[in-house]
Structures are given as C-alpha cells and as structure tokens.
C-alpha cells in the first residue's frame, strides 16, 4: 500500500467541475484517473477492505489490552483522505446527500445510486421530447435523418457504442430501429449499474433523499 502522504499528493488538485444535481457524468469522468493514479481505487470499490481494527497486546504486568492495529490506522488515513477529496468535489446542495457517510466507499455508492439513474433518465426524456418536436413555427415535423442527428448529439458518453455504431453505418438507420437499440441498451446499462452497486458496494443511499 502506498504511503498516505505520497498517495494524497498523487490525487492532485481539487476537481474543477464540482458535482451538482445535473452534471453527474461530467463530474464522474474526472474522478477515476486521479484515484487510480493514487492507488486508492481498491478502497473506493471495496476490493481493498479495512483490516481488522484492533489486536491484543500483553502489557508489562501480563494484562492484555486491545489496541488499534497499525495496518488499520494506515487504511483509515487513506480512506478519510479519499473521502475528503470526494467531499471537496461536491456542491453544497449535493454535499447534504452524503453528510452522514463515514467512508469513501459509502459516499461513492450513495452518489452513484442517486445521480447515475437521473443521467440515464435524461436520455429517455430527451427521446420523448424529440418525438413530438416541431420545426420552427410552421408545425412541420422534423425529418427522420435530422431527428436522429439531434438524438445522437443529445446522448451522454455512456451511449458512445450506440453513437459509434450508427455513425459507422453505410446505410441510414431507421428511426424505429434506433429507438429499439436505445431502449435495449438502456436496459443493459441499468442491469450493469445494479450489479455493480450490489457486488461492489454496501450502499447507504437509502437514507438519502
């Protein structure tokens, strides 16, 4: 495990784009590289679990006493440094959502649960809005090709595989087929996010609203 002072320095400067209620994906894109570079990712995703907290030592008078294990203290220092790094990257409104968490993994899980689902829902809402979009004031519906372009431009980075696939086609994709692909892909994203949260974290997000 890297030393706490070196790891803290490797996290670098504070996140420039602080997390608000509507920029989760942009905020999240800034986080992993700094954390991986500082070798903190194991703490964040739960794979580097806290060591046993105490150990029994025998004192000079033969009595035994429970004391903190050095390995636990070192882990706790890194975890709290990481928690502080995450907290400092949040706006005041979002900070209230993780005010009661005590570890970096709990904070990350809570933010993932609350805001990633909102980002995916925005993609679906965009589709619903565009399906009734009119061009100018003449009430003329937008053509399929133009509508598809607007839809692709409005998708977030999680949909890059869909965007790349459509842009690489020789023949234009029908609008109904694009919609079917988006629905299928969004369902897959939901399953992946659920499995990630269930397997990787013990979330305390249910306590937040």
Q: Pairing relation of β-strands 140-141 and 64-68?
A: unpaired
| Res 205: pLDDT | 35
| Res 61: pLDDT | 79
Contact criterion met (CB below 8 Å) for 109 and 197: yes
Residue 49 within a domain: yes
Domain total for the chain?
Answer: 1
Residue 96 within a domain: yes
Cβ-in-10-Å burial (0-12, 13-18, 19+) of 28 comes to middle
| Res 1: pLDDT | 44
Q: Pairing relation of β-strands 134-135 and 140-141?
A: antiparallel
Residue 47 within a domain: yes
- Per-residue pLDDT in tens (0 to 9) along the chain, 209 residues: 444 445 455 676 777 788 887 777 778 878 877 888 888 888 988 888 888 888 888 787 778 888 888 999 999 999 999 999 999 899 988 888 888 889 999 998 888 877 765 655 555 566 556 555 555 555 555 667 777 887 787 777 778 888 888 888 888 888 778 877 887 787 777 777 666 655 544 333 333 33
Q: How far apart are the C-alpha atoms of 190 and 187, rounded to whole Å?
A: 5
Domain around 140: 4-54+64-207
Residue 167 within a domain: yes
What's the sign of the alpha-carbon dihedral 102, 107, 109, 110? positive
| Res 186: pLDDT | 78
What number of CA atoms fall less than 13 Å from residue 80's CA on the CB side? 7
| Res 128: pLDDT | 58
| Res 112: pLDDT | 81
| Res 103: pLDDT | 92
The 10s digit of each residue's pLDDT in 188-209 is: 777 776 666 555 443 333 333 3
| Res 167: pLDDT | 83
| Res 24: pLDDT | 79
Q: How far apart are the C-alpha atoms of 77 and 103, rounded to whole Å?
A: 11
């Amino acid at each position: 495990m890297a030393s706490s002072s070196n790891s803290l320095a490797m996290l670098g400067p504070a996140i420039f784009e602080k997390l608000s209620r509507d920029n989760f994906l942009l905020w999240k894109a800034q986080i992993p590289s700094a954390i991986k570079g500082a070798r903190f990712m194991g703490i964040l995703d739960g794979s580097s679990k806290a060591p046993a907290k105490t150990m029994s030592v025998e004192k000079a008078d033969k009595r035994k006493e429970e004391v903190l294990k050095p390995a636990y203290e070192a882990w706790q220092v890194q975890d709290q440094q990481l928690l502080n790094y995450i907290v400092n990257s949040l706006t005041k409104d979002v900070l209230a959502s993780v005010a009661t968490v005590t570890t970096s993994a709990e904070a990350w899980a809570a933010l993932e649960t609350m805001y990633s689902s909102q980002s995916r829902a925005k993609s679906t809402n965009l589709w619903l809005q565009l399906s009734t979009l009119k061009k100018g004031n003449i009430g003329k519906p937008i053509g399929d090709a133009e509508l598809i372009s607007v839809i692709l431009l409005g998708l977030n980075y999680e949909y890059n595989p869909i965007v790349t696939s459509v842009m690489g086609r020789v023949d234009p994709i029908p609008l109904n087929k694009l919609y079917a692909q988006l629905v299928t892909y969004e369902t897959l994203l939901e399953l992946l996010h659920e499995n990630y949260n269930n397997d990787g974290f013990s979330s305390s997000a249910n306590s937040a609203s």
